[in-house]
Amino acid sequence: MNILVTGASRGIGKAIALSLEGNIYASGRNEELLKCYKNYIVADLYNKKELENLGQYIADNKIDVLINNAGEYIYSPVEKISPEELEHIIKVNLEAPLYLISKAVPNMKQNKWGRIINIGSISGVMGEANAAAYSASKAGLIGASKAIALELAEYGITANTINPGWVDTDMGNSSANDGCWTKEEITDCIPQKRFVSPNEIAGMVKYLISEEAKGVTGQSINLCAGLSVGF
């Protein structure tokens, strides 16, 4: 398998990339952090030229497992979101993954096999106060995954979304610090009273890639320590 993970320099993406077997390709913005991989490409998904280069990289390397993990988070009251912030987060979290999927699909169709895994967010399922732009971008990704799953099902290609809750990463912890509550207060609202480990998400990715999961497509899987159920 030729597997590409975006946002693989740290956090969830790194945990995923290091857990998988096959020909691993990684992308991210920090070249120094990507040097742990044999195959990597530096790409800022907001930069049109770099995004197009990554798309060509996917096509050239015949990627048959695409994991769209890279994303950005904005914490802001809705009335304070600038047009520039809105454009940025929609391009990075929604438009870029769809573009990369479009570059991977021709090879997958030819082989009549492929796996597309989008890393969404529980915020795209439930909504998150003061994160309307982020929630909207992730909700869009969930909807797109369902449509793509329908479109590609006959070719042996699956498309699914994993929606993490609060994750014990630099991004997750900094997001907690940006808000109105402490990490301890947030943890107290999570049914399992903990942040999810990046390795749990990596384990779900491994399953969705496997042959045992060939019937799982178009699904939105909440991996959130019970946060989506209520509190």
Spell out the residues 6+ positions from residue 211 whose beta carbon is closer than 8 angstroms to its own: none
In a domain, 229, yes or no: no
pLDDT given at position 226: 87
In a domain, 171, yes or no: yes
pTM value is 0.93
In a domain, 203, yes or no: yes
10-residue mean pLDDT profile of the chain (231 residues): values are 97 96 97 96 98 98 98 94 96 98 98 98 92 96 98 98 89 61 81 91 98 98 88 60
pLDDT given at position 231: 60
Residue 108 lies in domain: 2-223
In a domain, 231, yes or no: no
Residue 74's identity, in one-letter code, is I
Please count the structural domains in the chain. Answer: 1
Burial of 191 (0-12, 13-18, 19+ CB in 10 A): middle
pLDDT given at position 65: 98
Of the candidates 67, 72, 73, the one whose C-alpha atom is nearest the C-alpha of residue 18 is 67
- Residues 157 and 107: their CA atoms lie apart, in Å, by 11
Spell out the residues 6+ positions from residue 46 whose beta carbon is closer than 8 angstroms to its own: 88, 91, 92, 96
In a domain, 177, yes or no: yes
- Residues 218 and 12: their CA atoms lie apart, in Å, by 21
In a domain, 230, yes or no: no
pLDDT given at position 164: 96
Is 46 a residue of the active site?
no
In a domain, 228, yes or no: no
Task: Select which of 37, 134, 155, 207 is catalytic.
Answer: 134
- Residues 119 and 78: their CA atoms lie apart, in Å, by 23
pLDDT given at position 177: 58
pLDDT given at position 192: 87
Domain harbouring 189, CATH code: 3.40.50.720
